[in-house]
A = this chain, B = another copy of it.
């Protein structure tokens, strides 16, 4: 058996403690799998006296994660501090500069500095592993980087934020409003007091930028993502989706197009009975659409101490076995500049909900504006209450259009024309349909 691999953990919260427990519990199995003993020898944390959910007695303690990263007491540095800058970035750079391999769960750090960190790691012949940064316990990084190494990937998309999926699932299952579900999620600890990062789609976008880099061999560009959150999804949309055989999910989608790589995060209509539509609650799921394998879907826990620790420990085990892949599959210097496909060129079907006065000709006016731009409609239906049944004459009714595949810019133009016509007063709700 080779020499012991000495691990230092920076940040011993829920995930850090779970990593320490898992390494201790699986000590024998990991030694048998990797040929090396793996032990935690040191850790860093802000508060030395804090009660922790792991036995770290006998470990060297550091308050400064960079001092831990540079310490001769460790061979491998596990960064679980979080944040794109500050101590997380500094300590990861320190570890790599010292030729120590790094395992991190920090999606913000990778989204901001992943490419330069990968280059540094490669230069120092160290590993930089980040399975835990995307979709928690789902081994999606390994799958994209290694499991599908022979494929040309066309599209990767998924449910990457458990908070949003929990809220959308509850809205559908219990007929509750977005606000009610968000407040429940906050009570249960599934959502932060300030939920913007999750429900606004920004967390999904960070993760998507990492997946896109792995899938397409491009530099990480979180700023090149079109982002819409789930705040505007109403119960009316969810009910209409259900009637039409769809579910609404917040998806992150990255896909190759003739115009470049399209990266987008938005509420999406997915057809029921597809694997991703059936993923409810806090689970995550990722589907990969590629030339050889056709379609592969992975479903599992996207968060939680133990599930995230599962991914961290798998990375540690690979490093213990001596595996040194380029962090993003291809060498950092070979990553291409991302050419951003403009969102207005997006092609797909659309769900459009409009509030239309119940007067003769209103339907015809809308349909005409669509037809003028060559947008063909799969269906047009009235939603929420029969026409004229106990309602004021001429009061608005909900109208739902489902389009066949068309272009984003045509849809936007048609909606502008409809608004200019004056019949529709409130903004349209537009939700993109993701093809299977």
Query: Is residue A297 contacting chain B, with contact meaning CB distance below 8 A?
Result: yes
CB within 8 Å for A297 and B294 given contacts A30-B150, A323-B323: no
Query: Is residue A393 contacting chain B, with contact meaning CB distance below 8 A?
Result: no
Report the separation of the CA atoms of residues A126 and B150 in the bound assembly, to the nearest whole angstrom: 21
| Closest A-B pairs by Cβ, 5 of them | A150-B313, A139-B147, A292-B310, A149-B317, A296-B300
Report the separation of the CA atoms of residues A121 and B119 in the bound assembly, to the nearest whole angstrom: 34
Query: Is residue A429 contacting chain B, with contact meaning CB distance below 8 A?
Result: no
Contact, CB under 8 Å: B298 / A298: yes
10 A-B contacts (beta carbon < 8 Å): A29-B330, A139-B146, A142-B142, A149-B314, A151-B310, A275-B299, A294-B301, A294-B306, A296-B299, A297-B298
Interface residues of chain A: helix, strand, loop or mixed (majority): mixed
Minimum distance in angstroms from A104 CB to a CB of chain B: 16
Contact, CB under 8 Å: A150 / B317: yes
Return chain B residues, CB-CB under 8 Å to A81.
none
Residue in B closest to A300 when the chains form the complex, CB atoms: B296
Query: Is residue A273 contacting chain B, with contact meaning CB distance below 8 A?
Result: yes
CB within 8 Å for A292 and B137 given contacts A275-B299, A298-B298, A331-B32: yes
Report the separation of the CA atoms of residues A19 and B142 in the bound assembly, to the nearest whole angstrom: 21
Query: Is residue A378 contacting chain B, with contact meaning CB distance below 8 A?
Result: no
Report the separation of the CA atoms of residues A297 and B151 in the bound assembly, to the nearest whole angstrom: 21
Residue among A30, A146, A149, A290 having the largest count of chain B Cβ atoms under 10 Å = A149
Report the separation of the CA atoms of residues A295 and B138 in the bound assembly, to the nearest whole angstrom: 9
Residue in B closest to A306 when the chains form the complex, CB atoms: B292
| Per-residue contact bits, chain A 305-316, to B (CB 8 Å; 1 contact, 0 not) | 011011011101
Residue among A137, A292, A307, A329 having the largest count of chain B Cβ atoms under 10 Å = A292
- 17 more A-B contacts (CB under 8 A) besides A142-B142, A293-B310, A298-B299? A22-B150, A30-B150, A32-B217, A139-B142, A139-B147, A143-B143, A146-B317, A146-B318, A150-B314, A275-B275, A292-B310, A293-B306, A294-B304, A294-B306, A296-B298, A297-B299, A298-B298
Report the separation of the CA atoms of residues A26 and B318 in the bound assembly, to the nearest whole angstrom: 25
Minimum distance in angstroms from A151 CB to a CB of chain B: 6
**CB contact between A147 and one of B142, B148, B323 (< 8 Å): that residue:** B142
**CB contact between A296 and one of B34, B138, B331 (< 8 Å): that residue:** B138
Residue in B closest to A38 when the chains form the complex, CB atoms: B150
Query: Is residue A334 contacting chain B, with contact meaning CB distance below 8 A?
Result: yes
CB within 8 Å for A306 and B321 given contacts A26-B152, A278-B278: no
Contact, CB under 8 Å: A150 / B296: no
Contact, CB under 8 Å: A301 / B293: yes
Report the separation of the CA atoms of residues A142 and B298 in the bound assembly, to the nearest whole angstrom: 13
**CB contact between A142 and one of B29, B131, B146 (< 8 Å): that residue:** B146
Contact, CB under 8 Å: B149 / A217: no
Query: Is residue A325 contacting chain B, with contact meaning CB distance below 8 A?
Result: yes
CB within 8 Å for A150 and B291 given contacts A32-B334, A33-B330: no
Residue in B closest to A32 when the chains form the complex, CB atoms: B330
